[in-house]
């Protein structure tokens, strides 16, 4: 059982802990933690069997902590990953990985030099329906991929208040990209390969807190396929990915509702059972640390996702001008 520390105990940090804490089959248990406001979570931490430490340095120095899980502000990820690597601790970090390609590469290099596992929390990679789409791409049911459509939206930014780190533009460039949209960018990379060029428009239609709420992208993949994507940070929840090919198209909505239509013959509609993707990603991290299968998000794809995000920010700042992904 991997003994881990949770760094950051806001809503999502607590979600990660609760996904595995009473499930020994996951291979990981949280035994320690550190947060900026310990007084807000002390009762919860006690019920979870988590020792609260007073600093990140104290966590890294604790011999009983075998790995760290980061649910912290985006701009802290790179330095926290590098510090963990230097302390010999494997790291699982929430997305976005970092906010620049250079810092992502530095974090990866530190973990490789130290020989520790680094995992990124793009949990939708663990959806059974996504595995089925990958099979459809591999066996020819979709044919030559021509176009991809992605959408990940929700109303969370309506609740952002002054003083919340997510309400700061430096932590949430392009509105919903940091909390939601970056997941769909990873999904597009996972299914369709590297993204070569992006053009982005991002604006505020509803919000008055300084953040964008409407971000839309047109892209071209390295394969030549095209793609469109949008994330709305002040709208009803929507999660959708659709792939269009020469032989058929497939659409997945809300993680579980799949529709497939071939060019000829009968298609289908299928609902997949719910799947705890937070538990699945943490179990995969624990297995990789134990010497099992590699974590199923290659680090070159993790870095590429950051490069896409960085190019999207530059395109939006230039009024939608096209940007080549480095």
- CATH number assigned to the domain comprising residue 105: 3.40.50.720
Contact 49, 31 (CB under 8 A): yes
Instruction: Please indicate, yes or no, whether residues 97 and 54 belong to a single structural domain of this protein.
Output: yes
Q: What is the mean pLDDT of residues 142-171?
A: 89
Q: Is residue 130 domain-shared with residue 119, that is, in the same domain?
A: no
* Lowest mean pLDDT, pick from 185-189, 286-290, 295-299, 322-326: 322-326
**Whether residue 70 is found in the same domain as residue 142:** no
| Percent of the chain's residues with pLDDT above 70 | 100
Whether 180 and 296 map to the same domain: the answer is yes
Residue from 41, 16, 44, 38 nearest 29 by CA = 16
Say if residue 184 is in the same domain as residue 304: yes
pLDDT at 277 over 90: yes
Q: What is the pLDDT of residue 226?
A: 98
Half-sphere exposure of 123 (CA within 13 A, CB side): 18
Say yes or no: 136 and 83 in one domain. Answer: no
- In which band, very low, low, confident or very high, does the pLDDT at 171 lie, cut at 50, 70 and 90? confident
Are 172 and 178 in contact by the 8 Å Cβ rule? The answer is yes
C-alpha distances (whole Å) from 148 to each of 189, 200, 217, 229, 230 are 10, 16, 12, 8, 12
H/E run at residue 219: strand 214-221
Nearest to 161 by CA among 115, 207, 214: 207
CA distance 92 to 171: 19
Residues 128, 131, 135, 136: is their CA dihedral positive or negative?
A: positive
Give the confidence band of 161 by pLDDT, cuts at 50, 70, 90. confident
pLDDT of 103 strictly over 90? yes
Task: From 123, 139, 160, give the residue that closes a domain.
Answer: 123
* 165 — pLDDT class (breaks 50, 70, 90): confident
What are the tens digits of pLDDT across the range 246-262? 999 999 999 999 999 99
pLDDT-derived band at 172, boundaries 50, 70, 90 = confident
Q: Which run of H or of E encompasses 231?
A: strand 226-232
Contacting residues for 9 by C-beta, under 8 A, at least 6 apart: 17, 33, 35, 40, 41, 44, 45, 71
Domain count within the chain: 2
Domain end position, chosen among 99, 123, 147:
123
226-232 and 145-153: which strand pairing?
A: parallel
Note whether 100 and 130 are same-domain residues. no
Mean pLDDT of the chain: 96
> Do both 82 and 152 map to the same domain?
no
Q: Please identify which residue in the block is written with the tokens 């949430």.
A: 172
With cut-offs at 50, 70 and 90, classify the pLDDT of residue 166. Answer: confident
- Of 148, 142, 146, 139, the residue nearest 261 (C-alpha): 142
Residue 169 confidence class, pLDDT cut points 50, 70, 90:
confident
Q: Indicate the residue among 73, 100, 123 that finishes a domain.
A: 123
Give residue 160's pLDDT: 85
Contact residues for 28 (Cβ-Cβ < 8 A; gap 6+): 1, 2, 4, 20, 67, 282, 283, 285, 286
This model's pTM is above 0.75: yes
pLDDT tens for 192-248 read 999 999 999 999 999 988 899 999 999 999 999 999 999 999 999 999 999 999 999
Q: Which domain holds residue 249?
A: 125-273+280-324
């Amino acid at each position: 059982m991997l003994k881990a520390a949770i760094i950051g105990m806001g809503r999502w940090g607590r979600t990660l802990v609760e996904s595995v804490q009473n499930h020994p089959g996951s291979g990981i248990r949280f035994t320690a933690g550190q947060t900026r406001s310990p007084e807000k979570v002390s009762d919860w931490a006690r019920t979870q069997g988590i020792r609260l430490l007073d600093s990140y340095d104290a966590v890294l120095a604790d011999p009983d902590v075998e790995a760290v899980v980061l649910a912290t502000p985006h701009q802290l990820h790179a330095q926290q990953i590098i510090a963990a690597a230097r302390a010999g601790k494997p790291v699982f970090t929430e997305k976005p990985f970092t906010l620049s390609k250079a810092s992502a590469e530095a974090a990866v290099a530190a973990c490789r030099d130290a020989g520790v596992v680094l995992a990124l929390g793009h949990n939708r990679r663990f959806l059974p329906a996504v595995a089925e789409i990958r099979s459809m791409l591999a066996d020819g049911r979709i044919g030559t991929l021509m176009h991809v459509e992605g959408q990940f939206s929700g109303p969370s930014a309506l609740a952002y208040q002054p003083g919340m780190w997510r309400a700061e533009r430096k932590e949430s460039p392009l509105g919903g990209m940091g909390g939601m949209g970056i997941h769909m960018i990873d999904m597009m990379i996972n299914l369709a390969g590297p993204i070569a060029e992006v053009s982005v428009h991002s604006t505020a239609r509803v919000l008055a807190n300084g953040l964008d709420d409407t971000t839309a992208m047109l892209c071209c993949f390295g394969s030549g396929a095209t793609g469109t994507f949008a994330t709305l940070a002040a709208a009803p929840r929507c999660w959708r990915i659709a792939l269009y090919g020469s032989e058929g198209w497939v659409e997945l909505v809300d993680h579980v509702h799949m529709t497939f239509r071939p060019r000829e013959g009968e298609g289908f509609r299928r609902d997949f059972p719910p799947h705890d993707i937070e538990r699945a990603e943490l179990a995969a991290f624990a297995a990789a640390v134990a010497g099992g299968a590699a974590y199923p998000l290659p680090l070159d794809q993790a870095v590429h996702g950051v490069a896409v995000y960085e190019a999207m920010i530059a395109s939006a700042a230039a009024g939608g001008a096209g940007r080549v992904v480095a």
